[in-house]
Structure formats: structure tokens, C-alpha cells
């Protein structure tokens, strides 16, 4: 299958490219390298330096677009919602328009299970849970989902929306605000004390990037569906700090600062639908941390 991966030089996108190539697919990468890194590029993939907002994108011959390119920082979305919306909403619409123009059959979209659901009404959160985003980032992902479903209804474009929990693993950038695991590891290895925002009892569902990449590979066969991709396990930030401290032999206590606007307090997801489709997470949190 001929596949375009937007954001294919980024953290998650590059792992998706790798597994697609390992499985014999013809892969091209579209990335503007604003947050992606050239060293993540798979030499077997064709690289197109470009932007998802470009009007001259040529999708001739592609069977599927895996759309990973996004603005992913919750803080940035709160401070600059226009910038967030331009990339995550307008950028997605532009990709959909090009898919329609060039007759691409399918889009696989990376959404955020940690952002679109908002503060959970029940746990674990399944795909039927109400969508009540707490940040412009969550709202932009929700809007992109709705556009994808609309283009399916209007033009018959097949889709699979994957709602990731908190993804971690190799190649994650520790310099941004997304990716608490990579941030903690980077700080501790430098002998610096990580900051925990809030009381540290807030919880997240951490899923390894290798498992996420496998889900995207399998989603090539999933049709017109929305699927949670996560571990189904709830881990507090304080617990996470202890796990990483033990692994790195870091003996300082964290610095606690005021909680940040736009973030949920507790979240972990139900991945029973993914399980019914043949996917389940394989990498345990402790093992995944050791690999970073």
C-alpha cells in the first residue's frame, strides 16, 4: 500500500513509518521539521519537506494518509488558540480536501484520549464517553474528528480515528511540555529536580510508542471507526516519579508547583474495542522506561 505519513519525522510518526516499512508498505513522509527531526527519518521512505497547510500538496497515487502532524502542546493552545486551530483544524481540513481531490481512499487520524473526553464522568473512559474538552488543544482534536466524519458522510472517504492516551518512548523530545516521562528522565539524568504541577496525585494512562505504531499498522484494515489506544492502567504522577527515580537512582524529592489550566485530573481509558479488533498493549511501563 502507498501511504503518506504527515509528521513522519516526529516522535510518534517516525515509529509508524518504521513499522509500515518493516511490513512492506511504500511510505512517504510529509514534515516541515518544525518539531520533527531529520535523524528520525527512515532512509527507506521518501521525504517531502512541506506543511499540511500547503495548497500545492500532491497526493497522486496514495492509498492512505496517516495524519500525525499536529500542534500537541496544551499550554501553547491555551496561550495561542488561533495557532493551535490553524494547525489542528485548518491543517486537517486541507489534508481532507487534498484526499478528496486526489481520490485517496482512507485517512487514519491521531486524536487524543487524554484531551477530547475532558474530566471523566466514569473510569475507565470508553469511546462512548461524552466529549467535553478542557483546552483549545482538546477542542481542536474534537473538531478535526468531526470534519473527518463529515467527509466520510459527504464524500465516502474511509477513516479510522485513534484516540491515544499519553504516549511515551524513544525519540520523545524532553524539551517541550508534552511527555512527562521524557521530561523527568532528562532532568534526572542531568541531576536536575523535575517539577510536578499540582499535588502529583493526578493520573494518566501511559502507552508505549511501539504499541501505538502497531495500532496504526492494524488500523489500515479498520474501517470507519473510533478506537481508544492506551494501557488501560491508571498511574499517578507521584508514582511515575518514584518509578523513574528508582530506575535512575535519583534521590531528590520533586518540586511542586501550581496545577496548570486545561488539564484533566484523572484519566485512563478502556481499550476493549481495540482488543476486539486484535490489538492490545505489549510494553509494560517499567520496561518501556528502561528502554529510553
Paired with 22 in beta bridges are none
Query: Pairing between strand 255-257 and 195-197?
Result: parallel
SS3 20: helix
In the residue annotation, 159 being an active-site residue is answered as: no
Q: Residue 202 in 3-state DSSP?
A: coil
Nearest residue to 145 via CA among 97, 110, 102, 99? 110
3 state SS of 214? helix
Q: Which of 102, 117, 122, 137 is catalytic?
A: 137
Asked whether the beta carbons of 116 and 125 are under 8 A apart, the reply is: no
Instruction: Give the whole-angstrom CA distance, residue 287 versus residue 292.
Output: 9
For 176, counting Cβ atoms within 10 Å of its Cβ (0-12 exposed, 13-18 middle, 19+ buried), the class is middle
Q: So which residues are the catalytic ones?
A: 137
Amino acid at each position: 500500500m502507498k501511504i503518506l505519513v504527515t509528521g513522519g519525522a516526529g516522535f510518534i510518526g517516525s515509529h509508524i513509518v518504521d513499522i509500515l516499512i518493516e511490513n512492506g508498505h511504500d511510505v512517504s513522509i510529509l514534515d516541515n521539521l518544525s518539531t520533527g527531526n531529520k535523524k528520525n527519518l527512515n532512509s527507506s521512505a521518501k521525504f517531502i519537506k512541506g506543511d499540511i497547510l500547503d495548497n500545492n500538496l500532491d497526493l497522486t497515487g496514495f492509498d492512505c494518509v496517516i495524519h500525525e502532524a499536529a500542534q500537541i502542546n496544551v499550554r501553547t493552545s491555551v496561550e495561542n488558540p488561533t495557532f493551535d486551530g490553524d494547525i489542528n483544524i485548518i491543517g486537517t481540513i486541507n489534508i481532507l480536501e487534498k484526499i478528496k481531490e486526489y481520490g485517496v481512499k482512507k485517512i487514519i487520524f491521531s486524536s487524543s484520549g487524554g484531551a477530547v473526553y475532558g474530566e471523566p464522568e466514569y473510569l475507565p473512559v470508553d469511546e462512548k464517553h461524552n466529549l467535553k474538552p478542557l483546552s483549545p488543544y482538546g477542542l481542536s482534536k474534537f473538531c478535526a474528528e468531526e470534519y473527518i466524519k463529515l467527509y466520510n458522510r459527504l464524500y465516502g472517504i474511509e477513516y479510522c480515528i485513534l484516540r491515544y492516551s499519553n504516549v511515551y518512548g524513544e525519540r520523545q523530545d524532553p524539551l517541550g511540555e508534552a511527555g512527562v516521562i521524557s521530561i523527568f528522565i532528562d532532568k534526572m539524568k542531568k541531576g536536575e529536580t523535575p517539577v510536578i504541577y499540582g499535588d502529583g496525585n493526578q493520573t494518566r494512562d501511559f502507552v508505549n510508542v511501539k504499541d501505538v505504531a502497531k495500532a496504526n499498522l492494524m488500523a489500515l484494515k479498520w474501517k470507519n471507526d473510533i478506537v481508544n489506544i492506551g494501557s488501560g492502567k491508571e498511574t499517578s504522577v507521584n508514582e511515575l516519579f518514584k518509578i523513574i527515580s528508582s530506575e535512575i537512582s535519583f534521590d531528590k524529592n520533586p518540586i511542586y508547583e501550581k496545577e496548570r489550566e486545561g488539564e484533566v485530573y484523572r484519566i485512563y481509558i478502556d481499550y476493549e474495542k481495540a482488543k476486539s479488533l486484535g490489538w492490545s498493549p505489549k510494553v509494560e511501563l517499567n520496561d518501556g522506561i528502561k528502554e529510553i
